[in-house]
Structure 1
Amino acid sequence: MEGVTATATARKIMVVADPGRESAGALQWALSHSVVEHDELILLHVQNSASWRNSFTFFRRPSQNSSNTSVSSESSHGGGGGGSVSGGGGGVDLEFLEVMKRACEAIQPKVRVHIERVDMGGKDKASTILNQCKALSVDVLIIGQRRSISNAILGCRLSGGSTKGMDTAEYLIENCKCTCVGVQRKGQNGGYVLNTKTHRNFWLLA
């Protein structure tokens, strides 16, 4: 897929990071199929200052009796090329972005990983992400996508510079200047469905 396969040139790859299985699946795909040595991986979390909480408890450090933890504590686990990060600490809650970062560093130790938090500032989420892509000169944007029949049929046809009626992932795929990949994880061993501006519903085995 254009703009997704590994190249010798270091790239800036941004993954939209949220405390949910769609975001975890996108990060798993990025780590196992897109990010290569010397790339820079940016975990972007878009927050709303009106409702954002300082920390989340969706991700937990495992007890010392647990051997490892995956990128997500939910049912979506990494596919081929993925991995896990070891840890202990008796179930201490960790901020989910830090857990994601640690998992990335364990799976891809030669990739620079850093976290970006940005407030929506009254704008919609998609526009905020587009602004960050431009400001940081991102080469590839990756976002988890929850597919529905209406999105699959109508999403790629909606336009007009507005996010109304279009989910965030579809809007970014259509309007992002860099390559944008929407990732849907299909169960633990079911592979991925990928969407870009030029490739729709591209199936990739885990």
Structure 2
Amino acid sequence: MACFLLCSKSQQEIPISDSVENVQKRELLGSSVSGEEDFSSDNSKVALCQNGNRVMVVVDWSVEAKEALEWTLSHAVQKNDTIVLVHVLKSLKLQRESFIGFEFGNKVNYIKAHKLLFSMRSMCLKTKPEVQVEVALLEGKERGPIIVEEAKKHKLSLLVLGQRKRPLLRRLLNRWAKRRSRRRKKKKTCRATAEYCIQNSSCMTIAVRKKSKRIGGYLITTKSHKNFWLLA
């Protein structure tokens, strides 16, 4: 695992005006029904909380990951907060007859992963120069457990992941294949990481996806809210 710390200088804080967006934000982040998840507690305050929070964003090359980072920068961090950018590099299988190819593949993947992380870091510093940025490159087979474990180490206030929208055809096929457990398990792999982190992370965890270009806003999923529409 490689971890790099990068900090930026503080600048003047931009005040947040009360708007429809903030009303929705309070509704989403307020106390949940039946006390399942108290978003207003000291351990789970997000954008409207005090300074000094640590927010982790899981990044990769997908559009959804970039959208999740954009949402975090515009909704979940403010002056003196820290963003931790995490990318999980999938371990390659080593075969006896292809050791040279394995080594070359590993180096290429590491170079690409570092470029991705520093590209996302530049995006953070350009958009929010008043926040601190850390980047961490992890490696393993199962992304979900690795992310949850890393989140514990950083004592986060919030964990943010991108979530993918399944195409209509895939959703119909998924319904048709409900009784076939193997196929159903395959269909869920694209969303398995976000769902695993939401259910198992010790901190507040949010999966984010843009609703659509025409309508705007974001769909937010947490333990107690699924596809909550947040205007942006």
On whether the aligned pair clears a TM of 0.5, the verdict is yes
2:51 aligned partner: 9
Contact 1:172 1:180 in 2 (8 A): yes
Q: 1:183 aligns with which of 202, 208, 223?
A: 208
Structure 2: 5+ residue runs without aligned partners?
Answer: 1-28, 30-38, 40-44, 93-104, 176-184
Structure 2 partner of 1:142 = 160
- Counterpart residue identity of residue 170, structure 1: E
Q: In the alignment, which of 111, 117, 120 is matched to residue 55 of structure 1?
A: 111
TM-score (norm 1): 0.69
Pick aligned residue for 2:137 from 99, 102, 117: 117
Q: Note the alpha carbon deviations across 1:26-76, whole angstroms, 9 max, x for none.
A: 00000001111111100000112316513349xxxxxxxxxxxxxxxxxxx
Q: Whose Rg is larger?
A: 2
Aligned residue in 2 for 1:80: none
Tell me how far apart the structure 2 counterparts of residues 102 and 5 of structure 1 sit (CA, whole Å).
Answer: 21
Instruction: Name the counterpart of 1:160.
Output: none
Q: CA deviation at 1:188?
A: 4.0
Secondary structure of the residue that 2:124 maps to in structure 1?
helix
**Residue range with higher mean Cα deviation, 177-186 or 42-51:** 42-51
TM-score by length of 2: 0.62
Distance 2:164 2:56 in 1: 18
Q: Which amino acid aligns with 1:28?
A: E
CA RMSD of aligned residues (A): 2.4
Q: Is the aligned partner of 1:132 residue 2:150?
A: yes
The alignment covers a number of residue pairs equal to 157
C-alpha displacement of 1:198: 1.6
Partner of 1:107: 127
Matching residue's letter, 1:33:
H
Distance across 2 between alignment mates of 1:168 and 1:113: 23
SS in 2 for 1:102: helix
Identify unmatched segments of 5+ residues in structure 1: 58-93, 154-162
Aligned with 1:167: secondary structure?
helix
Shift of 1:23: 0.3
The alpha carbon displacement at 1:196 in A equals: 0.7
